[in-house]
Structure 1
């Protein structure tokens, strides 16, 4: 057995022992309304067979519970421009009477070619409502999309979001040294590119205290069976020779060691759970210690973010723990 395999075995054994000792939080899907639980249970095992049908079905199932979700103690300032492009806007969710609060910037998904901070009805707004209710200044941002803005346009926008947050932190009652990024799907890819690739950061580094990466693509390859393969090419280009340098995982040894929390789901988009596991191993190997990791049982690729501000608080509480501990 090679030294790499020995080391991999030791790292994974250590990670398993840590999980056994800490007893990770149980899934909280059973706290959702019965009809929503039934929908998730029915869609989950077949989610990957037809994501074009099952994604909108999942989102539609959450709308009722999200419309009635609590919004107390939060003020919202919409459409703040962090850049000159019409897509470079964000909404600020601000807790009442809070000073030196952390800042969480949410970067949505959309397979690189679609998406908006106001997409999917109540879904992304409720991320802002929930975290602000926990005392976190939350920014829900839109960014430029392919094909009009190919690589690295979206990463440049993440950089601009962070710069805006730092410049406005004190005005918002927040701490400019406690900025966290949270990206989902394509948004996780863009966040990972920003925190790992030094060439895409300011000269003084990424300027964030941590990053939550939820079901992203971290190594690029084109698979004709992947329903989002062509969308990936629309952003990253169709030249495979460019993919290694444009893959976030390529750069983890060269950049600043930003604390990371990795999340996948039981029923994820094709291949994204594998990519999350691959990045987990690469970070475990780099640091000789594994980052926070969570596999959400009972959830699919969209329900994991749609569940914020519902009775299922598992992922939200894990993110708060990560932000509090820095690991």
Structure 2
């Protein structure tokens, strides 16, 4: 995998100062902080490189209006099959869209496509249209679509990676780990990438989205939610996983990510590759893709080269 030569924009000093200012008090005004980060990173990403990538938008994979994919394909002379990253956005179960803004979340897929990887941005039904396991069923159908069309998309079926952010990891994680929600022939994944992921369902007092969790899973029972949580289905045969989270996360998500690392380590007898992003918050962990701050991107590229 090689990058298309083109400079990526730096995160401006003023934005870094803003991140440092709001980080320690992230949850005191979480909704406005998320909105602010989306706005500020969208400005930066407006200057991010998009060259060398062809984008095919609104590809249907199902009947619902949200059953659409955007496919980001590298443009070069190679005829070899490429790995693919399938991205699942967040939004606390009730909000969110694969195109949060013109720049967010397409920045993630542009980054990977510019490094020789086919990027797929997945739309899925939200909790007001489909409760558990509806979104996970959608993710499975999107994976199936990509596998069925891999030849025409130039994708190596043996190198398909699923990636989630925030609540997107609840849906993607259930598909990646819970065998009850996988097709009879298996999940078809080479790896799973978790960024600031909600991999545990809970309605604890510290969880600002507890009501949304209860709405999606249709229960507030702790034992039932534990049984439905992606992290509860990790075992020795679980797909290779990469886990990353920011210094300033939405409440409990850093703990959930750390729990996933621990459980994978217990089950596989070695910890998975992971990254803790100093100075980053729940939104910047995904908003900074396709900027010059690409330490996380490079770590994920290394994982894609050698998933374990």
Which band: TM-score by shorter chain? over 0.9
Q: Does 1:249 align with 2:231?
A: yes
Of 224-233 and 55-64, more deviation after overlay is shown by 224-233
Quote the Cα distance in structure 2 between the aligned partners of 1:133 and 1:282: 33
Quote the Cα distance in structure 2 between the aligned partners of 1:196 and 1:125: 26
How far does residue 83 in structure 1 lie from its aligned partner after superposition? 1.1
Greater helix content: 1
Matches within 5 A, 1:158-173: 158-173=139-154
Give the structure 1 partner of residue 27 of structure 2: 48
**Superposed CA offset, 1:187-215 (max 9, x none):** 11111111110000001111000000111
Give the structure 1 partner of residue 283 of structure 2: 302
Q: Secondary structure at the match of 2:96?
A: coil
Q: Secondary structure at the match of 1:86?
A: coil
Matches within 5 A, 1:63-82: 63-82=42-61
Aligned-residue RMSD, C-alpha: 1.4
Matches within 5 A, 1:41-120: 41-97=20-76, 98=78, 99-120=80-101
Structure 2 gaps of 5+ residues are 1-8
Structure 1 gaps of 5+ residues are 1-29
Count, aligned residues: 297
Give the structure 2 partner of residue 196 of structure 1: 177
- Rg (Cα) greater in structure: 1
**Superposed CA offset, 1:206-251 (max 9, x none):** 1000000111222222123422111111111224142122111221
Quote the Cα distance in structure 2 between the aligned partners of 1:280 and 1:47: 24
Q: Secondary structure at the match of 1:189?
A: helix
C-alpha contact 1:126 1:309 (8 A) present in aligned 2: yes
Of 65-74 and 93-102, more deviation after overlay is shown by 93-102
TM-score under structure 1 length normalisation: 0.88
Quote the Cα distance in structure 2 between the aligned partners of 1:302 and 1:253: 29
Q: Does 1:133 align with 2:134?
A: no
Quote the Cα distance in structure 2 between the aligned partners of 1:211 and 1:101: 17
Quote the Cα distance in structure 1 between the aligned partners of 2:170 and 2:162: 12
C-alpha contact 2:235 2:268 (8 A) present in aligned 1: no
Quote the Cα distance in structure 2 between the aligned partners of 1:70 and 1:174: 23
Of 64-73 and 121-130, more deviation after overlay is shown by 121-130
Quote the Cα distance in structure 2 between the aligned partners of 1:144 and 1:324: 31
2:191 aligns with one of 201, 206, 210: 210
Of 169-178 and 215-224, more deviation after overlay is shown by 215-224
Of 237-246 and 86-95, more deviation after overlay is shown by 237-246
How far does residue 168 in structure 1 lie from its aligned partner after superposition? 1.2
Q: Secondary structure at the match of 1:110?
A: coil
C-alpha contact 1:39 1:58 (8 A) present in aligned 2: no
Give the structure 1 partner of residue 4 of structure 2: none
How far does residue 31 in structure 1 lie from its aligned partner after superposition? 4.8
Quote the Cα distance in structure 1 between the aligned partners of 2:90 and 2:267: 27
Give the structure 1 partner of residue 164 of structure 2: 183
Of 285-294 and 221-230, more deviation after overlay is shown by 221-230
Q: Secondary structure at the match of 1:105?
A: strand
C-alpha contact 2:206 2:251 (8 A) present in aligned 1: no
Q: Secondary structure at the match of 1:222?
A: coil
